[in-house]
Amino acid sequence: MSLRVLMFGWEFPPFSSGGLGTACKGLTDGLSQKGVKVTFVIPKASGGTSSVSSSGAPGIQLIGADQVGDMKVIEVDSVLRGYVNAEQYHEHMMTVLNRQGHPATSLYGKDLHQEVLRYAEIAKRIALLEDFDVIHAHDWMTYQAGINAKEASGKPLVVHVHATEFDRSGDNPNQAVYALEKMGMERADRIIAVSSYTKGIITDRYGIPPDKVAVVHNAVAHNHNQEHRPPASINDGMKTVLFLGRITMQKGPDYFLYAAKRVLDFFPHVRFVVAGSGDMERFMIDKAASLGIADRVLFTGFLSAEQTEQAYRMADLYVLPSVSEPFGITPLESLTNGTPVIISRQSGVSEVLKNCLKVDFWDIDDMASKMLSVLKYPALENQLVDDGRQEVSRMSWEDSAEKCLSIYQQVRGFP
């Protein structure tokens, strides 16, 4: 009998805005390849029609349960979503309620924390209805759901740490989020960290014994058509350097901007593209202006999956200047699209990717110097692409899934 996993996430392509959705997709695809039956539970705000549970169980606000390939997806009516703070949560909830025509009573939690707990209550009931062997919860918003499911079912819990509050907020973590993370890690039977870098944070900042934490690096999905598609460089004599990610403190967009200034002082024929959205967008636009490089820095806003691929292809160089990056799949995607990368050493991806240039995010001079070197020496650019692409082609989600599978078997207590 194949192993069954009840998985809790909070985003999944095509409805995702960050790396977590991509990672969940890659991992569940890999697990399906290995014959693991995954039931993926995900929050999704309903469109306003009455919430009817497809399983018919009373009291569970499900939007539906669908079979997506080999995976069963259960959508829970919730306004939980990734990468939001308390204020943004409220804003988002009001938008959803507007769309639903302001029902008399809102079923959603009045704040983010309440909604996390409400979602976790629903999780408990799902756990009683579904058949599974292991619970797997991705990131802090689902840890409580995982704990509840474990209590209801008696099945072992694996929590998967894709990011911690210290990555998102530096040295001023939100205490409620921190507490939820710590509890999830403590109550879990095993913890998966996306890198040794993240494992270090888990042991140092959350006081978890190292042998409870396994490292499973992310990978990248391979689309074999990509190899044959030409680059989409803009042939106007300008070079293009790309930043792509959420425009938040964690991602280091400001360091990218300071390095851009340094590059442009030296060599003006470069445009810098900042793709993504986030709470530092305003700051970035103002900063580009005050540095006097506003005409060289283009902001694209949030990009769809297809636009993202286009952006990689258009660029001559991709830079990941993250201050704290638990993993960072984007450099792998960039190489898959034939664009060389410079990555922050303060990242998990730097543990698995060798054929690239590495910088400390704070070392603006080094970052600028390396950017210029790639733009200036075509042999270097070509070599980085050829070697990097080859290296990335050897990474596979199936390998990551294989590691998860052996962790499932360990927590179940038999091979």
Partner 1 sequence: MVDISLYFQVHQPYRLRRYSVFDIGKSRDYFDKKKNEEIISRVAKKCYLPSNRLMLDLINETDGAFKVAYSITGTAMEQFASFEPRVIDSFQELADTGKVEFLSETYYHSLAFLHSQDEFKEQIRQHRKMIQANFHQTPSVFRNTELIYNNAIASLIEKMGYKGMLAEGADHVLGWRSPNFVYRPAHGSIPLLLKNYKLSDDIAFRFSNHSWKEFPLTAEKYASWINAINGNGRVVNLFMDYETLGEHQWAQTGIFKFFRAWPRLVLKHPDNSFQNPGEVATKHRPEAGLDVPQLISWADLERDLSAWQGNQIQDAAMKELYAVERLVKASKDKALLDSWRRLQTSDHFYYMCTKYFADGDVHKYFNPYDSPYDCFIAFMNVLNDLIIRLKTGRDGQISDGQVTFTTEADADTLPVNGFMISGEPSRGLGRSR
Positions that interact with partner 1 (CB under 8 A): 230-231, 233, 235, 237, 239, 266-267, 269, 316, 338, 354-358, 365-366, 368-370, 372-373, 375-387, 390-391
Q: Give CA angle at 237 (234, 242), nearest 5°.
A: 55
- Pair 357, 370: CB distance under 8 Å: yes
Beta strands 190-193 and 157-161, pairing class: parallel
Beta strands 71-77 and 134-138, pairing class: unpaired
- Cβ proximity to partner 1: between 192 and 356 the closer is 356
Q: Output the CA–CA distances (angstroms, integers) from residue 219 to 66, 305, 318, 327, in the order listed.
A: 26, 17, 18, 10
- Cβ proximity to partner 1: between 188 and 273 the closer is 273
> In this structure, what is the dihedral angle of CA atoms 93, 98, 103, 109, given to the nearest 10 degrees?
0
Nearest distance from C-beta of residue 393 to partner 1, angstroms? 11
Closest by CA to 45, choosing from 63, 72, 60, is 63
- Cβ proximity to partner 1: between 32 and 233 the closer is 233
Q: Distance (Å, rounded) from C-alpha 270 to C-alpha 240?
A: 6
- Cβ proximity to partner 1: between 132 and 256 the closer is 256
Nearest distance from C-beta of residue 391 to partner 1, angstroms? 5
- Token pair belonging to 280: 């530092």
- Cβ proximity to partner 1: between 70 and 363 the closer is 363
Nearest distance from C-beta of residue 332 to partner 1, angstroms? 14
- Cβ proximity to partner 1: between 188 and 357 the closer is 357
Nearest distance from C-beta of residue 357 to partner 1, angstroms? 6
Nearest distance from C-beta of residue 355 to partner 1, angstroms? 6
Nearest distance from C-beta of residue 253 to partner 1, angstroms? 22
| Widest pairwise Cα distance in the chain | 66
Q: Distance (Å, rounded) from C-alpha 21 to C-alpha 72?
A: 16
